[in-house]
């Protein structure tokens, strides 16, 4: 094994740093004006000189993102921002767009007069279906879980049965199509790396569909960043495909009706 992927460092959890990488810098006090340089402060017995409080520390966003001191709390915030509660909050924000079929069989979108209305499409990964099937003790298959998720997300007896606007997802799609596309794009990226004049990552090219791995590399092994693949993850690629395809097929602007949505952590 290489030094980067050694067996002694299999735990990829980034513990909080012992000290901040950007400690507060205490600047020396400004010299007093010339008119006050001859003044002398007299302190009586039992009195303490007035403390000179430090100015509030100011840390830029770049320094904050590069610091590993609060990674545990930061990850907790990220999980809370991608929970099922955020999905339900987004569904209840405004009435959803309605896709209907006219007499000619073409799709027509209703509700575009509301700028806050959105078209909701859920993408489900095979890992999600497999995990839910395993949580059921093996009594249901992955295919059965897919049907149950579809009924939950877009069926009349699912999440559309509650909420302020009775919103549900118009479509539920599988990310396997995007996963196959990322494999093809990844292979093209490797082949293009052997051609001159094409900007590609440094060899060897490292790829991962997990954003946590990218965060781990940025914080612990920054020297591998030039080797990271530029191909999107299946989840991100599926979002791009859906927004592009639906915008052209339904003739609706991608903003704001097809804005990036929330992802539930299943």
- The domain segmentation of the chain, as residue ranges, is 67-175+234-250
Cα radius of gyration (the chain): 27
How many Cα atoms sit within 13 Å of 25 on the Cβ side?
5
Please tell me the predicted confidence (pLDDT) of residue 43.
Answer: 58
Residue-wise pLDDT tens digits, 32-73: 666 555 556 665 655 555 555 666 656 555 555 555 555 445
Which DSSP category does 206 fall into? B
Report the residue count for the chain: 266
How far out from the chain centre does Cα 246 lie? Answer: 22
How far is it, in rounded angstroms, from Cα 246 to Cα 94?
20
Instruction: Report the share of the chain in percent with pLDDT over 90.
Output: 31
The C-alpha angle with vertex 40 and arms to 39 and 46, in degrees rounded to 5, equals 150
DSSP β-bridge partners for residue 124: 174
For residue 168, the tally of other CB atoms under 10 A from its CB is: 21
pLDDT digits (tens, 9 = 90+) for 199-254: 788 889 998 877 778 877 887 888 999 999 999 989 889 989 999 999 999 988 87
Task: State residue 71's pLDDT score.
Answer: 47
């Amino acid at each position: 094994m290489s030094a980067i992927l050694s067996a002694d460092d299999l735990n990829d959890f980034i513990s909080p740093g012992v000290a901040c990488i950007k400690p507060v810098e205490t600047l020396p006090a400004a010299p007093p004006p010339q008119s006050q340089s001859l003044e002398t402060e007299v302190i009586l017995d039992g009195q303490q000189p007035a403390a000179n409080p430090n100015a509030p520390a100011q840390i830029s966003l770049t320094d904050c993102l590069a610091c590993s001191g609060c990674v545990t709390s930061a990850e907790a915030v990220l999980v809370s921002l991608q929970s099922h509660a955020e999905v339900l909050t987004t569904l209840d924000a405004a009435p959803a767009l309605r896709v209907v079929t006219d007499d000619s069989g073409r799709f027509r979108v209703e509700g575009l007069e509301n700028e806050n209305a959105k078209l909701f499409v859920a993408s489900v990964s095979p890992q999600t279906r497999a995990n839910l099937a395993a949580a059921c003790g093996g009594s249901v298959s992955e295919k059965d879980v897919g049907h149950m998720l579809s009924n939950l997300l877009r069926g009349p007896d699912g999440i559309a049965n509650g909420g302020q606007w009775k919103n549900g997802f118009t479509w539920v799609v599988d990310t396997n199509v995007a996963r196959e596309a990322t494999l093809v794009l990844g292979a093209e990226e490797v082949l293009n790396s052997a051609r001159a004049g094409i900007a590609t990552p440094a060899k060897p090219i490292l790829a991962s569909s997990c954003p946590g791995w990218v965060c781990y590399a940025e914080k612990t092994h920054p020297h591998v960043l030039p080797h990271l693949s530029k191909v999107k993850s299946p989840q991100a690629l599926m979002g791009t495909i859906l927004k592009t395809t639906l915008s052209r097929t339904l003739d609706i602007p991608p903003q704001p009706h097809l804005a990036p949505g929330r992802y539930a952590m299943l």
